Structure 1
Amino acid sequence: MTQREQWGSRLGFILAAVGSAIGLGNIWRFPYMAYENGGGAFLVPYLFAMLTAGIPFMILEFTLGHRFRGSAPKAFACIARGWEWLGWAQVMVAAVITVYYVAVIGWTISYVGFAFTGAWGADPKAFFFEDFLGLTSGALELGALRPTVLGAVTLAWAITWLACVSGVRAGIERAGKVLMPVLFLLVLAFTARVVWLEGAMDGVNWLFTPDFSRLADYRVWVAAYGQIFFTLSVGFAIMIAYSSYLPARSDISNNAFMTVFINCGFSMLAGVMVFSVLGYMAARQGVPIAEVAGGGVGLAFVTIPMAINLMPMPVFFGTLFFLSLTMAGVSSHISIVEACVSSFMDKFGWSRRATASALCAGGFAVSLVFCTGGGLYVLDIVDHFINNFGVLGAALAEIVLLAWLCRLEVVREHANEVSEFAVGRWWSVCLRYLTPGILTLLVGLNLYGDLGTPYGGYGTVELLAYGWAVVLGCALLGLALRAAPGRPGFAARPDTTLRRTT
C-alpha cells in the first residue's frame, strides 16, 4: 500500500485549511448578516457559536481525519461499514458545490479585467445582468453559453486541476502559501485606503453599533450558528480529507483554534472593508446607509462597482476588490475538489492524476449549465437547497452519529494525546447537546420555510428539478458509492473502540 501524502509543514496545513474556510461568503455574506442581526450585538451570538460549535466541530473533523488517515467515506467506514454512505453523501454535496461555485469565481475573474477599463459603466446592474450574464426569463430557459463567463470558468477549473493533480505538498500546499498571504495583503491594502474616505467610518459605525435588544430574538442566534457552519467548511468532507494528510504528531487542537480564529477574524475585517465602501457611497449620494447596504451577488457585482465608480483611483480599488474575491474563491474551490479527489482515491485506488483529471473534466462539463443565460437562476436554487439541506443536513447526521453512537471521549483522548493543550468535557457537551440541537432547529426552520413558501418565487418544477432533486440525488449517490466494490483493505476492520455498541 502506498504511503499517504503529507503536508510539508504546519504552516502549509494551516494556510490550506484557512484557505478552504475563507471564501466568498466571508466577504459578501458575513457583513450583511451582522448588519441585519443587531450590528455589534451580533458578535455576541457569533462568537458564542464559534466557541461552542465551530471550534468543537473543527477539532472533531481534524481528529477523525488524523486518526483514520483517510477521506470522509473511509473515516466513517472505519467506524462502522454502514456509515460510509454518509461520507459519500458529504462528498456528493461537495461535488455539487464545486460545479456552481466555480461559476462565481469565473465572474470575479472576469471583473478583474473589467476593473481595468471600467467596463460596467454608469449602470453596473444592467451591465451585470444583461450585458455580462445575458439573463433569460427563468431557470427553465437556459439560453446560450456566455463566452466571457465560459472562458473565465475554464481558467478557474484549470487552476484547480493544476493544484490538485500536483499533489498535497507541491500543489495544494503551495497554492495556499501563495493565495492566502496575497488575499490578506489585498484586503488589508483595500481596507487601509477606504477607511479614510468620506463617510467610511459612518458605514463601519453603522455595522458595529450594537442593538442589544436583538439578542432576545432566537432568530439572531440561529443566524449566528448558520453563519459559522456556512463559513468553516465543516460537515461536507473537506476538513476530514485535509487533516488525513497531517503527520502522526500534529497539534490538532491548536490547529483547529487557529483555523477558526483566522477565518472569523477575516470575516470581521471584510465587514470593515465592505461597510467602509457602503458608507462612502451613501455619503457621496446623500442617502442613508440602509439604502445601499446589501449582501450576496448584488453586493459584489452591482453595489460595489457602483461605489467604485464614485471613488478616486477606480482602477486601483476595482482591481484589488475583485482580485480579493478571486483569491478567496479559488482557494476554497481547490479544497472542495480535493475532498472529492481524496475520497475516490481512497475507495478505488486510482492515481491522483487520473482521479483529479476525471473529476475536474466532469465538473467542468456540468458547470457549463451555469455559464448560460439562465445559469444565475439555477445557481440560486441549487445554492439555497444544497446549503440549507445538503450541508446542514449532512452536518447534523454526522454529529448525531458521532456524538450519540460513538464514544466521544475516545476521540477527545486522541486529540489531547497529540495536542499542546487538552480540551475538556465542555467539548463533548457542546457536540452532544448544543450543536445537534441548533442544527436540528436550523434544518427544521429551513424545511418549514421552504414547504410553506416557495423559495425565491420560483415555480414548483424549477424547485423540484434544481433543488429537491439535487439534495435527494446526493443521498442516493452516497448509497450507490457505498455499495460499489472498493480496493482491498478499504476500511476492512472497523474501529470497535469508538462505537458505543458492537
Structure 2
Amino acid sequence: MATATAQTPKREAFGSRNVFILSAIGSAVGLGNIWRFPYVAYEGGGGAFLIPYLCALLTAGIPLLFLDYAIGHRFRGSAPLAFRRMHRAAEPLGWWQVLICVVISVYYAVIVAWAAMYTWFSAQLTWGPGNENDFFFVDFLQSADVAEVGVSADFVPQVGIPLAVVWLGVIAIMALGVKRGIGRANMILMPLLTVMFAVLVVQSLFLPGAMDGLNAFFTPNWEALADPGVWASAYGHIFFSLSVAFGIMVTYSSYLKRKTDLTGSGLVVGFANSGFEILAGIGVFAALGFMAQAQGTDVAGVASSGIGLAFVAFPTIVSQAAGGSIIGVLFFGALVFAGVTSMISILEVIVAALQDKLGWGRLRTTLTVSIPLAVISMALFSTTTALSVLDTTDAFVNAFGIMAVALVAVVVVAWVLHKLPALQEHLNRRSSFRVGFIWKLLIGALAPIVLGYLLISELITKISEPYSGYPDWFLAVFGWGMVIALVVIGVLLSLVPWSRRSHAKDDPEYDEFLDQEEYEPDLETGMLPVQGAKDEEARA
C-alpha cells in the first residue's frame, strides 16, 4: 500500500444515496429541459419523437451515465484524477472535461441572472403588453451588433448586478462543501422546483387554447421517423440533457459510499430527467396553445426554443393570460432553481479537479476557482454584446467540446485501454440492475458511431457557412479558437505535477477503498481485480 503524508485531505461524500440522486437529477434537469426539449420534440414529429427519444435514452443516455458512474466510483476522483488512475496517459481527457465546464459556467450564470430578473419583472409586468421582444433585446440587454462595435465593454447594470448576486450565492453553496453545500442545496431546490413546475403546468392546462398546444405537441408525425436528422436530434439532445461525458457524473459518483447501487441510481436519474422533460413539454405547449389562440394563429406560428421561448414568448403569454404574473413568477423561478442546481454541478467539476491536483482545502479552492470565473463572466456577459458571445460559445462548446470529448473518451476507454470489462464488473458488484455484453456493445460500438455522425454533421454545417452570420474574426476567437484552446490547455494541465498531498499513489482513502472490495478472483488469471488495479497504478 502507498504511504501518504499526514496532510492528505479526506475526500468528501454525499450524506446518502438519496442526496446523490437528487443532486444528479438537479444537474441533469437544467435550462435545456424547459426551453429546448419541447421544441426539439415538436420539430421532430411530435408524439412520434418519443420513439427515437426513448431509444436514445435507453441505448446511449443511460449506458453512458452508467459509464460515468463506474469511472468516478471505481477510481474515486475528479475527472482528471479518475482518468489518471485508469491510465496515466488518459489524464488529459479529464482536464478537457474540466475546461468545458469552465466555459459553460462562465455563460450559464448570466442566463440564471436573466431568469432572476424576469421573475421580478413578471410580478409587475415590467415589459408592457406588446413590447416583449424590444424589452428583452433593446431595453434589458441593450444588445449591440458585434459586426459593428466588436466585443463591447459597455456595462449593462440591470444584467451585471444580478449576475454578481448569482455568483455570490453559488460561491457560498460551493464553499460549504459537498454534504453541507451541494447536497443541502439540492435537497431544498429540487423539491421546490418540482412543486413550482407542477403548479405551472396545472395553470397552463386551464388556459384557453391549451388543448390546441397539446395536440400540436403530441400528435405524431410518423413520416418524421424516416428522417435520420430526427434520430440524430434525439441522440444529441440526450447527450446534453443527462450531463454525461463532461465530468459532472464522474465527479458526483466519486462522492458516493463504497456500497452503493450505481445502476439503480442511474435508472432513477435517467427516467426522472425524462419525466421532467415531458412535463415541461406539456406546460410549455399548453401555454403556447393559449398564445396562438390569443394571436389568431396556429401553434407553429408561435413555437420557438431557447432564449426566444423563455424571454420573448413566455412574457407574451404572461401579458395575455389571466393571472399571468403568477405564471411568470413560477416559470422564471423554476428556471432560476434549475439553473442553480446545474451550475453548482458544473462548478464542482472544476473545484474537485483543482482540489485533487493541488491538495488544497475546500474554501481556498472554491475561492481560487470561482472569483476569476465570476470576473470573466461579468466582463463578457454584462455588456451590450453578451448575447452574441453567449450564442457562439454555447454552440461551439456543445458541438465540438462535449460531443468531441465524449467520442474520444468512449474510444479510449473501450478500445485503447480495454476497461469496459473491469468497469462492468465494478457496476455489477454493487448494483440491482446488472449490465453485460449489450452494455459494452452500446458503449464500444453504438456510442462512437452516433457521436461521430453528430460531430461530422456539425463540422460540415459550421464550415459551410459562418455561424449565425457572425464575422470570421469573432468566430475564430469565441468559436474555433476556444475549441482548440480547450484541447491544448487540457494537455498542458496534465503535465503539471500533482501535489504529494493528493497524488493518486498517495491517497490512503483510495487504498482503503480498494482493500475493502470483496471481489472473486479472475477465472482466467487467478488474480484479484483490485490487485490488478493496484499493480497497474504502481506501473503508472
Task: Give me the TM-score of the superposition, normalised by structure 2.
Answer: 0.91
Q: Alpha carbons of 1:399 and 1:246: their partners in 2 closer, same or farther (altered >3 Å)?
A: same
1:410-437 Cα deviation digits (max 9, x unpaired): 1011011011231222111100111110
5+ long unaligned stretches in structure 1? none
Query: What is the match of residue 137 of structure 1?
Result: 145
Pairs within 5 Å for 1:211-226: 211-226=221-236
Pairs within 5 Å for 1:8-23: 8-23=15-30
Query: What is the match of residue 383 of structure 2?
Result: 372
1:295 aligns with 2:305: yes
Pairs within 5 Å for 1:286-365: 286-365=296-375
Q: 1:2 Cα shift?
A: 2.7
Q: Aligned equivalents of 1:495 and 1:101: distance in 2?
A: 38
Q: Which amino acid aligns with 2:435?
A: V
Q: Which amino acid aligns with 1:443?
A: L
Query: What is the match of residue 436 of structure 1?
Result: 448
Q: CA RMSD in A?
A: 1.5
Query: What is the match of residue 59 of structure 2?
Result: 52
| Aligned residue among 381, 390, 393 for 2:392 | 381
**Is the contact between residue 94 and residue 337 of structure 1 (CA under 8 Å) also seen in structure 2?**
yes
Q: Alpha carbons of 1:70 and 1:95: their partners in 2 closer, same or farther (altered >3 Å)?
A: same
1:490 aligns with 2:506: no
Q: 1:71 Cα shift?
A: 0.5
Q: Aligned equivalents of 1:145 and 1:260: distance in 2?
A: 40
Q: 1:56 Cα shift?
A: 0.5
Q: Aligned equivalents of 1:27 and 1:299: distance in 2?
A: 10
**Is the contact between residue 81 and residue 491 of structure 1 (CA under 8 Å) also seen in structure 2?**
no
**Is the contact between residue 415 and residue 444 of structure 2 (CA under 8 Å) also seen in structure 1?**
yes
Query: What is the match of residue 473 of structure 1?
Result: 485
| Aligned residue among 58, 63, 68 for 1:61 | 68
Query: What is the match of residue 474 of structure 2?
Result: 462
1:136 is paired with a residue of what secondary structure? coil
**Is the contact between residue 203 and residue 278 of structure 1 (CA under 8 Å) also seen in structure 2?**
yes
Q: Aligned equivalents of 1:186 and 1:498: distance in 2?
A: 50
1:125 aligns with 2:136: no
Q: Aligned equivalents of 1:492 and 1:76: distance in 2?
A: 14
Q: Which amino acid aligns with 2:273?
A: N
Q: Aligned equivalents of 1:401 and 1:14: distance in 2?
A: 28
**Is the contact between residue 40 and residue 211 of structure 1 (CA under 8 Å) also seen in structure 2?**
yes
Query: What is the match of residue 404 of structure 2?
Result: 393
**Is the contact between residue 407 and residue 498 of structure 1 (CA under 8 Å) also seen in structure 2?**
no
Q: 1:467 Cα shift?
A: 0.5
Query: What is the match of residue 105 of structure 1?
Result: 112
Query: What is the match of residue 29 of structure 1?
Result: 36
Q: 1:155 Cα shift?
A: 1.3
Q: 1:227 Cα shift?
A: 0.2
**Is the contact between residue 79 and residue 496 of structure 1 (CA under 8 Å) also seen in structure 2?**
no
1:155 aligns with 2:168: no
Q: Aligned equivalents of 1:120 and 1:435: distance in 2?
A: 45
| Aligned residue among 437, 454, 475 for 1:425 | 437
**Is the contact between residue 136 and residue 143 of structure 1 (CA under 8 Å) also seen in structure 2?**
no
2:168 is paired with a residue of what secondary structure? helix
Q: 1:143 Cα shift?
A: 4.2
1:48-93 Cα deviation digits (max 9, x unpaired): 0000001100011011111111011001101111110110011000
**Is the contact between residue 80 and residue 495 of structure 1 (CA under 8 Å) also seen in structure 2?**
no
Q: Alpha carbons of 1:497 and 1:62: their partners in 2 closer, same or farther (altered >3 Å)?
A: farther
2:499 is paired with a residue of what secondary structure? coil
Query: What is the match of residue 227 of structure 1?
Result: 237
Worse-matched range after superposition: 177-186 or 141-150: 141-150
**Is the contact between residue 122 and residue 318 of structure 2 (CA under 8 Å) also seen in structure 1?**
no
Q: 1:283 Cα shift?
A: 1.0
**Structure (1 or 2) with the larger CA radius of gyration:** 2
**Is the contact between residue 75 and residue 86 of structure 2 (CA under 8 Å) also seen in structure 1?**
no
Q: Aligned equivalents of 2:307 and 2:272: distance in 1?
A: 24
Q: Aligned equivalents of 2:400 and 2:419: distance in 1?
A: 27
| Aligned residue among 417, 423, 427 for 1:411 | 423
Q: Aligned equivalents of 1:218 and 1:177: distance in 2?
A: 40
Which of structure 1's runs of 4+ aligned residues deviate more than 4 A?
A: 496-499
Query: What is the match of residue 165 of structure 1?
Result: 175
Query: What is the match of residue 462 of structure 2?
Result: 450
Q: Which amino acid aligns with 1:485?
A: P
Q: Alpha carbons of 1:415 and 1:319: their partners in 2 closer, same or farther (altered >3 Å)?
A: same
Q: Aligned equivalents of 1:377 and 1:120: distance in 2?
A: 22
Task: Give me the TM-score of the superposition, normalised by structure 1.
Answer: 0.98
Q: Aligned equivalents of 1:496 and 1:468: distance in 2?
A: 40
1:8 is paired with a residue of what secondary structure? coil
2:154 is paired with a residue of what secondary structure? coil
Q: Alpha carbons of 1:199 and 1:498: their partners in 2 closer, same or farther (altered >3 Å)?
A: farther
Q: Which amino acid aligns with 1:301?
A: F
1:270 is paired with a residue of what secondary structure? helix
Q: 1:232 Cα shift?
A: 0.9
Q: Which amino acid aligns with 1:471?
A: V
| Aligned residue among 46, 54, 63 for 1:39 | 46
**Is the contact between residue 357 and residue 498 of structure 2 (CA under 8 Å) also seen in structure 1?**
yes
Q: Which amino acid aligns with 1:467?
A: G
1:254 is paired with a residue of what secondary structure? helix
**Is the contact between residue 414 and residue 444 of structure 2 (CA under 8 Å) also seen in structure 1?**
yes
Q: Aligned equivalents of 2:397 and 2:434: distance in 1?
A: 35
1:247 is paired with a residue of what secondary structure? coil
